[in-house]
Amino acid sequence: MSAWYNSLSELQRIFALIAIPSTVVMLIQSVLILFGVGDGDADADGVDLDFDDADGGTEPGDGFALFTVRGFVAMLCVGGWLGIVLLDAGMSVLEATVLAFAGGIAALFGMAFLVRLLLKLQQTGNLELSNAVGKTGTVYLTIPANMSGTGKVHLTVQETYSEFGAMTPDAEEIKTGEAVKVVKVDDSGLLVVKRIVSEKQNEHRLIGQ
């Protein structure tokens, strides 16, 4: 490994320092997901983008999270390794850097579409959303207050750890990593959740009042 690293050019070493750690993180994420352990508390808020369907309509919560930790890890991993390979193939520094960046951006979008596809497969499978009522989970993407928008939550339903679109009637937004409880499923298939307030959080609120 050290011999391989020493044989790289300066720019290739920079790409390697980006690619290797991100690859390790991606492998860890994959193992955690495989064993049903979520990474919602480690992800930053994502930007939820909605794309119209071919008929011009949109479904509530049908957007996909673009800027997430998973997406950035995929971008760094693909971009880093691609930069090393392109420079090794004899490309100029400028060409390799531009193509590596483009490849990373493609990986970012690819990860977002992959997650969106997996969510659709979950929703069209044998999963009964009504079984989610009463379950507790963790917020993955911040849920806006007063039913004003959708976020994402991670929870286990029918022994399957899944990600769902969610809204909340709470007066305050529920941030990434906070615990929630599903109170019902609305007509569009979105989960309606409420924040689970711990004793410590409740004490802080009482003090603040």
Residue 89's SS3 state is: coil
pTM of the model: 0.51
Same domain, 44 and 101: yes
DSSP 154: E
Verify that 67 and 109 share a domain, yes or no.
Answer: yes
Q: How confident is the model at residue 19 (pLDDT cuts 50, 70, 90)?
A: very high
Beta-bridge partner residues of 89? none
CA 179 vs CA 120, 128, 134, 138: distances in Å: 24, 22, 13, 5
Residues 116 and 194 in one domain: no
DSSP reduced 3-state for 182: strand
Q: Are residues 82 and 140 in the same domain?
A: no
Residue 16 lies in domain = 2-124
Of the residues 124, 140, 171, which one is the last residue of a structural domain?
124
Give me the residue label for tokens 């409420």: 194
Amino acid at 62: D
Range 160-163, long-range pairs (CB < 8 A, 24+ positions): 160/122, 160/127, 161/33, 161/36, 161/37, 161/38, 162/119, 162/122, 162/127, 163/115, 163/119, 163/122
Q: Are residues 120 and 141 in the same domain?
A: no
CA 117/CA 188 separation, integer angstroms: 18
Both tokens of residue 84? 């090393």
Answer yes or no: do 8 and 87 share one domain. Answer: yes
Boundary-marking domain end, from 74, 95, 124? 124
pLDDT surpasses 50 at 50: no
Query: Alpha-carbon torsion 171, 177, 181, 184, what sign?
Result: positive
Q: 194 or 48, which is more confident? A: 194
Average predicted confidence (pLDDT) for the chain: 79
Give the domain CATH number at 146.
2.40.50.140
36 and 81 together in one domain = yes
Domain match, 135 and 100 both: no
Task: Please tell me the total count of domains within the chain.
Answer: 2
Query: Which of 107, 124, 141 represents a domain boundary (last residue)?
Result: 124
Token output for 23? 């690859």
E strand or H helix at 132: none
Same domain, 134 and 191: yes
Same domain, 136 and 92: no
Per-residue model confidence (pLDDT) at position 209? 52
From its phi and psi, is residue 158 left (phi > 0), alpha (psi between -120 and 50) or beta? left
- Contact in structure between 193 and 135 (CB atoms under 8 Å): no
Q: How confident is the model at residue 58 (pLDDT cuts 50, 70, 90)?
A: very low
Q: Which residue has the tokens 């989610």?
A: 132
Binned at pLDDT 50, 70 and 90, residue 56 comes out as very low
